[in-house]
Structure 1
């Protein structure tokens, strides 16, 4: 019985090893995805100039809008505090009462932008 179990374990180990991807292929794939553990010198550099000024501001607003829209699972154009928290929008969830100035229990993207502008953001 022990010999049978040993043989079975060796066979399974061979199958697992044969099914494991080649390490070099895995590293190459991760490099294309922006692997944070890849040394900076080995990373592919962007050919685009760094964003700044109004371009950077536009990119930031667009990213915030995408995150807001993704959190809006009901596609109502609004978020509840629970939806914000569940989507990982901690700043929105933590300041929800201040953002929701109409006390409706829901905020829209304009409410969020207004709150951030009142606190000095240039959105």
Structure 2
């Protein structure tokens, strides 16, 4: 009787194992995506520098739009708020370190660069290293 029970339980385990193998291959019939067009070129991989340049370009465009087309102009808190640039209007006093009531594009770029994820991660790593010492 013990041998029969062992064989039955072994057979049941084999059936369960085989049924899970079928599940692993159950998605082979999904349609494959079409190939890319012949003239398609793989875009270059992004680097930290290329992402930084893209972000700075977008900030410059937004600054120019908020200052009515003047990229070398001055931006007030009210202009930033009217342009829907909440981050700048909310942190205006931090950006305007001189307290003049206006900021330049360089001030906004400096403020933004101090808050990049890469810089924050570097600061956290330095803090962790200091705590270990």
**TM-score for both structures, normalised by structure 1:** 0.54
Give the Cα–Cα distance (whole angstroms) in 2 for the partners of residues 108 and 122 of structure 1.
Answer: 24
Aligned to 1:82: 78
Give the Cα–Cα distance (whole angstroms) in 2 for the partners of residues 53 and 121 of structure 1.
Answer: 11
1:52 and 2:55 correspond: no
- Asked if the contact 2:59/2:109 (under 8 Å) is kept, the reply is no
Pick one of 90, 99, 105 that aligns with 1:103.
99
How far residue 50 of structure 1 moved from its aligned partner, in angstroms, is 5.0
Give the Cα–Cα distance (whole angstroms) in 2 for the partners of residues 112 and 99 of structure 1.
Answer: 6
How far residue 104 of structure 1 moved from its aligned partner, in angstroms, is 0.8
Pick one of 59, 64, 70 that aligns with 2:59.
64
Give the Cα–Cα distance (whole angstroms) in 2 for the partners of residues 62 and 51 of structure 1.
Answer: 15
Structure number with larger C-alpha Rg: 2
Give the Cα–Cα distance (whole angstroms) in 2 for the partners of residues 63 and 74 of structure 1.
Answer: 14
Which contiguous aligned blocks of 4+ residues in structure 1 show a shift greater than 6 angstroms? none
**TM-score for both structures, normalised by structure 2:** 0.50
Q: Unpaired segments of 5 or more residues in structure 1?
A: 1-40
How far residue 88 of structure 1 moved from its aligned partner, in angstroms, is 1.4
Give the Cα–Cα distance (whole angstroms) in 2 for the partners of residues 63 and 104 of structure 1.
Answer: 25
How has the CA–CA distance of structure 1 residues 55 and 117 changed in structure 2, closer, same or farther, with 3 Å as cutoff? Answer: closer
Aligned to 1:91: 87
